[in-house]
A and B are shown apart, each in its own frame.
Chain A
Amino acid sequence: MVALGYTMVYGIIQLINFAHGEVVMIGAMVAYTVIVTLTSANIGLHPILIVLAGVLVAVPACMGVGYTLERTAYRPLRRAPRLAPLITAIGLSIILQNLALIIWSRNPMPYPQIIAAVPYHITGNPDGATITNVQIAIIITSFAMMAGLLFLVYRTRLGVAMRATSQNQQVAGLMGIDINRVISLTFVIGAGLGAVAGVMVGSYYGIAHYQMGFILGLKAFSAAVLGGIGNIGGAMLGGLLLGVIEAMGAGYVGDLTNLCQLSSWSDALARRCADGAYLTLFGSNYQDVFAFLVLIAVLVFRPSGLLGERVSDRA
Chain B
Amino acid sequence: MTGATQVVPEGRHAPPLALLSATDITKRFGGVQALSEVSFTINHGEIYGLIGPNGAGKTSLFNVLTGIYIRDAGTFMFDGEPLQNLKPNDVAARGIARTFQNIRLFANLSALENVMIGRHVRTHAGVWGAISRNAGTRAEESAIQQRAYELLKYVGVEKRAHSLARHLAYGDQRRLEIARAMATEPKLLALDEPAAGMNATETASLRALLEDIRRDGTTILLIEHDMKLVMSLCDRVLVLDYGKKIAEGPAAEVQKDERVIAAYLGGEVSLNLKGT
Contacts and interface: CB of A to CB of B under 8 A. Distances in A.
Interface in B170-186: none
B77 interface: no
B9 to A, nearest CB: 38
B68 interface: yes
B203 interface: no
Interface in A296-315: 315
B40 interface: no
A148 B63 CA distance: 44
Contacts of B59: 315
B106 interface: no
Contacts of A315: 59, 63, 68, 100
Contacts, number: 4
- Number of contact residues on B: which range applies? under 10
Nearest to A310: B30
A315 B34 CA distance: 15
B235 to A, nearest CB: 27
B221 to A, nearest CB: 16
Interface in A268-315: 315
A315 B91 CA distance: 15
B149 to A, nearest CB: 29
Nearest to B60: A315
Nearest to B66: A315
B275 to A, nearest CB: 36
B32 to A, nearest CB: 13
Nearest to B100: A315
Nearest to B30: A310
Nearest to B101: A315
Interface string B81-106: 00000000000000000001000000
Contacts of B100: 315
Interface string B45-61: 00000000000000100
A315 B192 CA distance: 12
A265 B10 CA distance: 87
Interface in A157-179: none
A315 B59 CA distance: 9
A315 B100 CA distance: 8
Contacts of B63: 315
B258 to A, nearest CB: 33
A299 to B, nearest CB: 21
A286 B63 CA distance: 45
A315 B190 CA distance: 15
A120 to B, nearest CB: 48
Interface in A20-68: none
A315 B68 CA distance: 7
B3 to A, nearest CB: 25
A315 B102 CA distance: 9
Nearest to A313: B68
B37 to A, nearest CB: 22
A168 B68 CA distance: 24
A84 to B, nearest CB: 14
A170 to B, nearest CB: 16
A265 B59 CA distance: 63
A315 B63 CA distance: 8
Nearest to B69: A315
A6 B127 CA distance: 40
Interface in A253-278: none
A158 B33 CA distance: 35
B242 to A, nearest CB: 20
A311 to B, nearest CB: 14
Nearest to B192: A315
B104 to A, nearest CB: 9
B141 to A, nearest CB: 29
A98 to B, nearest CB: 34
B266 to A, nearest CB: 26
A304 to B, nearest CB: 14
Nearest to B102: A315
Interface string B232-259: 0000000000000000000000000000
Nearest to B88: A315
Nearest to B63: A315
B202 to A, nearest CB: 25
B96 to A, nearest CB: 14
A210 to B, nearest CB: 39
B247 to A, nearest CB: 26
Interface of A: 315
4 smallest A-B Cβ distances: which pairs? A315-B68, A315-B63, A315-B100, A315-B59
4 contacts: A315-B59, A315-B63, A315-B68, A315-B100
